[in-house]
Copies of this chain bind each other. A is one copy, B any other.
Amino acid sequence: MRIGELSRRTGVGTDALRAWERRYGVLRPERSPGGFRLYSASDEQRVRTMTRLIADGFSAAEAARSALAEDSGPLAPGADGGDAEALCEALVALDEETATAIVDRAVAALSVDALVRELMLPAMHEIGERWRRGEIGVAEEHFASNLLRARMLGLARGWGSGGSPIAILACPPGELHDLGLIAFGLALRARGWRIAYLGQDTPIETIEDLAGRLGNPAIVLAAADADRYRGAEPALKRLATTPGRLSLGGAGSDPELARGLGANDLGSDPVAAASALSAAP
């Protein structure tokens, strides 16, 4: 819409609109071939934000800062799938508030499966990539991992009670990457399972012992590096007594390795893995 219509809709004079654009950059209208400003619906919204803030007592300059920040922030209604990128940006900027807000919104709007698949995994993956490319430091990587882990564990609360098939989840000795395993646990829990979570760096004997006490639960291991599996080969073979009892996942697993050990290969997509395990006899 052109400037007059925007002015009429928002009650802000055309001169003021032009001044706000020039002085604060709040509005970035397209231009018609002849040079007329053409505003979008989101411009209108930003103007409304401005007027509201100004009515609340903020100076125009501050209102403009807020309007711009809000725009790029988690309050953008109708964010169409860019959430994972936004989360990633917030994480590398160590901006916990924004990251939390994005996750909160997704938790309210999505199912566990979708949350994991659309938000958590893409963000984790992107963080990992940037870390590998040296674009972010250890601090960012740790901050991001811890925040994502905390939020997923928040959703995991209670997953160890009251479900019908039981699964033990653990990382083999030496393996510290547990985010994917937690994501898998959430997806499996959503399918009605009960989760016994042992986490990072778990001795195989511990798993063996627990399995004995729990009846005959499914056992799922996850590792990002195949060496973790190879290093525990004898113990793993001992664990895979019953066929179908032991499953391996994560980037470190591959079908051949799994077959050699008498285990299932679940691949490295946690949600798909949960579906596969749940569908298995």
Contacts and interface: CB of A to CB of B under 8 A. Distances in A.
Nearest to A6: B57
A59 B2 contact: yes
Contact of A160 (B75, B96, B154, B278): B96
Interface in A149-184: 149-151, 153-165, 170, 176
Contact of A154 (B77, B153, B170): B153
Interface residues of A, number: 92
B197 A107 contact: no
Interface string A135-160: 00111001101110111011111111
B75 A104 contact: no
A51 interface: yes
A201 B176 contact: yes
Chain A contact surface mostly: helix
A2 B57 CA distance: 8
Contact of A157 (B112, B159, B205): B112
Contacts of A51: 164
Name, among A51, A61, A97, A110, the residue most crowded by chain B CB atoms within 10 Å (CB to CB): A110
Interface of A: 1-2, 4-5, 8-9, 32, 36, 38, 41, 44-45, 48-49, 51-52, 57-59, 61-62, 70, 75, 77-78, 80-81, 83, 94-97, 100-101, 104-105, 107-114, 118, 137-139, 142-143, 145-147, 149-151, 153-165, 170, 176, 189-192, 194, 196-203, 205-207, 209-210, 278-279, 281
8 contacts: A36-B59, A41-B191, A77-B192, A104-B108, A108-B155, A137-B206, A137-B209, A145-B199
